Amino acid sequence: MKPDVLIVGAGIIGAACADALSARGLRVTVVERDAVGSGATAAGMGHLVAMDDNAAELALSAHSLELWQELVDGQPQRHEYSRCGTLWVAADDEELEAARAKALTMSERGLACDVVDAPDLYRLEPQLRPGLAGGLLVPGDGLVYPPKSARILLARAVARGAVLLAGEVAALEEGGVLLADGTRLAAGQVVLAAGTRCLALAPGLPLRPKKGHVMITDRYPGFIRHQLVELGYVKSAHASDGESVAFNLQPRPTGQVLIGSSRQFDTTDLAAEPEMMARMLRRAVQYTPALAGLNVLRCWTGLRAATPDGLPLIGPAPSRRNLWLATGHEGLGITTSLATAQLLAAQMAGGQAGIDARPYLPSRFVDAGRAYG
């Protein structure tokens, strides 16, 4: 029977959408060209983090964190979840001032957070180098293992009758999609959740790939306890051109340490680049000198789908009937996947999403005479 909704892509976004739409009683089919959760989702650090660069980003990430808490409750180990909290590190007084401003914004949204002075910073994280000014602790942030969470979300949908099909969507058509093997699949609605590959199916979308590297060390339990991020990260994350690195360390539940993060535009080559790895390691060692003595086991890369304003595209595609977009989550898609799915499902199937959908509507990029999607 023809599904109500066909979702292209089973990354964390497609999987979360399948879960939310099937929970609302819709018949869902998901088409995935590779393994579930194998795209950017497999490359992501899995940091669940409240980000506050603007009100819409904070609303989406904070709401999603509430949904993650409900999802992992009672079965945290299935997601390899840890409520490690984020410690934003202030290198100097100027960054400590930025930490205070961040604390104000987050408290207004009801998020628990504490500005910490230098002695408390070293009590929380003894490996940090001397001379730092303090930081901001956000205890409600956490981490998951993203491909596992994607598989769990999809399995919930399949248990409600959703279908997972192996295949590559070659084109979007009126009333469905065309697969690379020539099969035509009809569907009431199509959701494009194919990450950066959305561009191949809808070339006009306002998306650019942003490459990132991540490294993982051997096991050093207790080396760090929180996700450590330099406050300068925000500058790096929002650069709209060129290459940047920022200090970003994560304590995996296995005792391993994930080392991020880098950002590069204008390349889709997934090869790990020694020069970029060296820059990331130099930055990380500046903040945690003892890291220089740890063994790095592996490095990988992934492509984030970045929009011009840093907010995702969630909602109807402006120029094509029955096509919906759920993409453009850049470096925050693991965090924001669950709220994205609720927003999309509320728009498609009715009901409440918990936050205002308007800031993320794809139609915000449509100017006179130029539509896309």
8 binds ligand FAD (CB under 6 A): yes
Structural contact between residues 90 and 134, judged by C-beta atoms closer than 8 angstroms: yes
Residue closer to ligand FAD by CB (options 134, 329) is 329
What does R_g of the chain's alpha carbons equal in angstroms? 20
Q: How far is the CB of 36 from ligand FAD (least distance, A)?
A: 7
Q: How far is the CB of 121 from ligand FAD (least distance, A)?
A: 22
Q: How far is the CB of 130 from ligand FAD (least distance, A)?
A: 28
Counting every residue written for the chain, the total comes to 373
Among 135, 232, 302, 318, the residue binding ligand FAD under the rule CB under 6 A is 302
Tokens describing residue 102? 């961040």
Q: CA 138, 71, 333 angle in degrees (round to 5)?
A: 65
Q: How far is the CB of 168 from ligand FAD (least distance, A)?
A: 4
Q: How far is the CB of 305 from ligand FAD (least distance, A)?
A: 6
Among 142, 176, 318, 333, the residue binding ligand FAD under the rule CB under 6 A is 333
Among 4, 5, 7, 14, the residue binding ligand FAD under the rule CB under 6 A is 14
DSSP 82: B
Spatial CB neighbours of 278, under 8 Å, sequence gap ≥ 6: none
Q: State which of positions 310-329 bind ligand FAD (CB under 6 A).
A: 327, 329
66 binds ligand FAD (CB under 6 A): no
Q: State which of positions 135-174 bind ligand FAD (CB under 6 A).
A: 168-169
Among 149, 244, 264, 335, the residue binding ligand FAD under the rule CB under 6 A is 335
Among 3, 176, 310, 331, the residue binding ligand FAD under the rule CB under 6 A is 331
Among 295, 315, 292, 312, CA closest to 304 = 312
229 binds ligand FAD (CB under 6 A): no
Which stretches does DSSP call E strand in the chain? 5-8, 28-32, 47-48, 86-90, 114-117, 134-138, 142-143, 163-166, 169-173, 176-179, 184-186, 189-192, 208-219, 227-230, 243-251, 256-265, 296-306, 313-316, 323-327
Q: How far is the CB of 97 from ligand FAD (least distance, A)?
A: 26
67 binds ligand FAD (CB under 6 A): no
Instruction: Give Cα separations from 335 to 8, 45, 62, 63, 152 (angstroms).
Output: 20, 10, 9, 10, 15
Among 9, 85, 362, 373, the residue binding ligand FAD under the rule CB under 6 A is 9
Q: How far is the CB of 13 from ligand FAD (least distance, A)?
A: 3
Q: How far is the CB of 164 from ligand FAD (least distance, A)?
A: 11
Size of site (CB under 6 A) for ligand FAD: 38
Tokens describing residue 188? 């009431």
Q: State which of positions 179-218 bind ligand FAD (CB under 6 A).
A: 193-195, 197, 201, 212, 214
Among 5, 6, 7, 13, the residue binding ligand FAD under the rule CB under 6 A is 13
Site string for ligand FAD, 23-62 (x = CB under 6 A): --------xxxx---xxxx-xxxxx---------------
Contacting range for ligand FAD; rule: CB under 6 A; set: 11-19, 134-142, 277-285, 355-363: 11-19
Among 244, 41, 269, CA closest to 149 = 41
Sign of CA dihedral 328, 333, 339, 341: positive
Structural contact between residues 300 and 259, judged by C-beta atoms closer than 8 angstroms: no
Instruction: Give Cα separations from 235 to 55, 102, 142, 152 (angstroms).
Output: 17, 14, 22, 34
Sites of contact with ligand FAD (CB under 6 A): 8-14, 31-34, 38-41, 43-47, 168-169, 193-195, 197, 201, 212, 214, 302, 304, 327, 329, 331-335
